[in-house]
Amino acid sequence: MSALNFSARLINWQGQHGRHDLPWQKTRDAYRIWLAEIMLQQTQVSTVIPYYTRFLERFPTVDALAQAPVDAVLELWAGLGYYARARNLHRCAQVIVADYAGQFPKEPQALAQLPGIGRSTAAAISAFAFGQRAAILDGNVKRVLARCFGIEGFPGSAQTEKKMWSLAESLLPARRIEVYTQGLMDLGSTLCARRKPFCAACPMYAICIARHTGRQAELPMVKAKRVLPERETTLLLLTDGKRVLLERRPPAGIWGGLLTLPECGLAGPAEFALHHGCRLLDTHALPPLRHSFTHFRLTIQTLLCQVEVSASLVSEAGWQWLERAQIETAALPTPIRFLLREMAQDYGEK
């Protein structure tokens, strides 16, 4: 199959059937394109759109984002997951302002050196914002190439990925790189889906090796599943009925920089409450909550602790009493927000 055949089919299809009304399209603003590309990493378009809109309302320019405290960025990111993206987003904005006078570099090689921007994301920004001829290779594109060209091997392996990068670069059209790049994204997100691809409407119907050989379900090859390790933790939910005590996680690691419930240490809830200026009135075990991370599954046991707070309490660094009304807007991990919602509903009126 020739590169011209592939790219021409894709460009024609995108013009007629691709997506043209996404909020980050029809712009050359590198800031808006970069923001969308970072949010879209491992996240569906429908999930990203409301976050994208809120971010631009709060931080309309890269300068505004760079000057904002990281806590404010994390608050708007809460619920979107993969929180390292938010920290890198903030750091990248600061680098753009400090080192590039607020202007994104045009070359994909330069973009790829910035925090949170990998090779594929850099190519997408460069193509959409500056019309640069560069290849993308995210998960959706890997699926399209593996099926259309019959590529064996797990796409995440170094050998197979190297082969795919070489192929992706060889397929680049001489013109209309923006349409071609958007077409790749659209095809992988819509017709060439992971399950039940809609081959009859695909522009590659006549040339796709996977369709000709009936291997759509086999390609791309998947990595052998491994059993995720199980972990367990006990969290303390201290509340006086109106507020809940939270701690700020360290910047790196799981839930980095977010507010979360403290873990129950060896001292126990009564001594913990006393240390934070509270008198423990009652404890109640909530139903266990399971949450899956990339590398492990966590079972969260939660002790709801009704407390009386000292009127002379002075907040320690890293700790915060959160009002019930702030649950929906605070920078909280998804399972912690869920627990606090349950607490507010079940115990807030008692």
As annotated, the active-site residues are: 37
ω into residue 335 within 30 of 0, thus cis? no
Give the largest CA-CA distance in the chain: 76
- Contact present, 177 and 127 (Cβ < 8 Å): yes
Q: How far apart are CA 93 and CA 124, in angstroms?
A: 18
Q: Residue 286 is encoded by which pair of tokens?
A: 């909530």
| CA-based end-to-end distance of the chain | 69
Task: Say which DSSP state 82 is in.
Answer: -
Q: Which candidate, 268, 338, 331, places its Cα nearest to that of 305?
A: 268
Virtual torsion, Cα 322, 327, 331, 334, nearest 10 deg: 130
Q: How far apart are CA 296 and CA 304, in angstroms?
A: 25
Q: In this structure, are residues 229 and 296 in contact, taking their beta carbons and an 8 Å threshold?
A: yes
Tokens of 43: 């996240």
The Cα–Cα gap between 295 and 267 comes to: 29
Cα distance between residue 247 and residue 41, in whole Å? 28
User: What sections of 132-194 are H helices per DSSP?
Assistant: 139-149, 158-170, 177-189
CB–CB of 239/304 below 8 Å?
yes
What are the tokens at 25? 């399209």
Strands 297-309, 230-239: pairing is parallel
Question: What φ, ψ does residue 231 adopt, rounded to 5°?
Answer: -125, 160
CA distance 344 to 350: 10
Distance in angstroms (rounded) separating the CA atoms of residues 227 and 324: 38
